[in-house]
Chains A and B, each alone.
Chain A
Amino acid sequence: MIFYQTTHDKTDSNIDLAGFNQTFLCFGRSKIQVRTNLGLLSLLFPSLSSRPYLSLLRLAKPFPLICKRSMASDGAEDHRLRRIASSIRVIPDFPKPGILFQDITTLLLDPEAFRDTIDMFVERYRDKEISVVAGIEARGFIFGPPIALAIGAKFVPMRKPKKLPGEVISEEYSLEYGTDKMEMHVGAVQEGDRALVIDDLIATGGTLAAAMRLLGGFSSTDRVGAEVVECACVIELPELKGRDKLGGRPLFVLVKAV
Chain B
Amino acid sequence: MAVREGKEQDPRIPRIASSIRVVPDFPKKGIMFQDITTLLLDPKAFKDTVDLFVERYTGRDISVVAGVEARGFIFGPPIALAIGAKFVPLRKPKKLPGEVISENYVLEYGTDCLEMHVGAVQPGERALVVDDLVATGGTLCAAISLLERAGAEVVECACVIELPELKGRERLNGKNLYILMESH
Instruction: Tell me if A109 is interfacial: C-beta within 8 Å of chain B.
Output: yes
How many A residues have CB within 8 A of the partner chain? Answer: 38
Alpha-carbon distance between A91 and B86 when the two chains are bound, in angstroms = 20
Nearest B-chain residue to A140, judged by Cβ = B73
Contact yes or no, A149 B43, CB < 8 A: yes
Q: Mark B66-89, 1 if CB is under 8 A from A, else 0.
A: 000111011101101100111111
Contact yes or no, A111 B85, CB < 8 A: yes
Contact yes or no, A148 B98, CB < 8 A: no
Q: Could you say which residues of chain A place their CB within 8 Å of the CB of B85?
A: 111
Contact yes or no, B41 A154, CB < 8 A: yes
Instruction: Tell me if B40 is interfacial: C-beta within 8 Å of chain A.
Output: yes
Instruction: Tell me if A114 is interfacial: C-beta within 8 Å of chain B.
Output: yes
Instruction: Tell me if A138 is interfacial: C-beta within 8 Å of chain B.
Output: yes
Instruction: Tell me if A66 is interfacial: C-beta within 8 Å of chain B.
Output: no
How many B residues have CB within 8 A of the partner chain? Answer: 38
Nearest B-chain residue to A102, judged by Cβ = B97
Q: Mark B106-150, 1 if CB is under 8 A from A, else 0.
A: 000000000001001000000000000000000000000000000
Interface of A is mostly: mixed
Contact yes or no, B43 A152, CB < 8 A: yes
Nearest A-chain residue to B50, judged by Cβ = A149
Q: Could you say which residues of chain B place their CB within 8 Å of the CB of A25?
A: none
Q: Could you say which residues of chain A place their CB within 8 Å of the CB of B71?
A: 141
Contact yes or no, A146 B23, CB < 8 A: no
Q: Could you say which residues of chain B place their CB within 8 Å of the CB of A164?
A: 37
Nearest A-chain residue to B64, judged by Cβ = A109
Nearest A-chain residue to B76, judged by Cβ = A142
Instruction: Tell me if B47 is interfacial: C-beta within 8 Å of chain A.
Output: yes
Nearest A-chain residue to B25, judged by Cβ = A165
Contact yes or no, A155 B74, CB < 8 A: yes
Q: Could you say which residues of chain A place their CB within 8 Å of the CB of B182?
A: none
List residues 93-125 of chain A with CB under 8 A from any CB of chain B: 94-95, 101, 103, 105, 108-111, 114-115, 118
Chain A nearest CB, measured from B89 CB (Å): 6
Chain A nearest CB, measured from B179 CB (Å): 19
Instruction: Tell me if A69 is interfacial: C-beta within 8 Å of chain B.
Output: no
Q: Could you say which residues of chain B place their CB within 8 Å of the CB of A94?
A: 97
Partner of B35, one of A111, A159, A166: A166
A141-B74 contact given A95-B97, A165-B26, CB 8 Å threshold: yes
A145-B74 contact given A109-B120, A165-B26, CB 8 Å threshold: yes
Q: Mark A211-245, 1 if CB is under 8 A from B, else 0.
A: 00000000000000000000000000000000000
Cβ contacts A to B, 14 pairs, < 8 Å: A95-B97, A105-B89, A109-B120, A114-B80, A115-B81, A118-B81, A138-B70, A138-B89, A142-B77, A145-B75, A145-B78, A149-B78, A157-B70, A165-B23
Which are the 7 A-B pairs with shortest beta-carbon distances? Answer: A141-B73, A165-B23, A91-B97, A165-B26, A94-B97, A155-B40, A108-B87
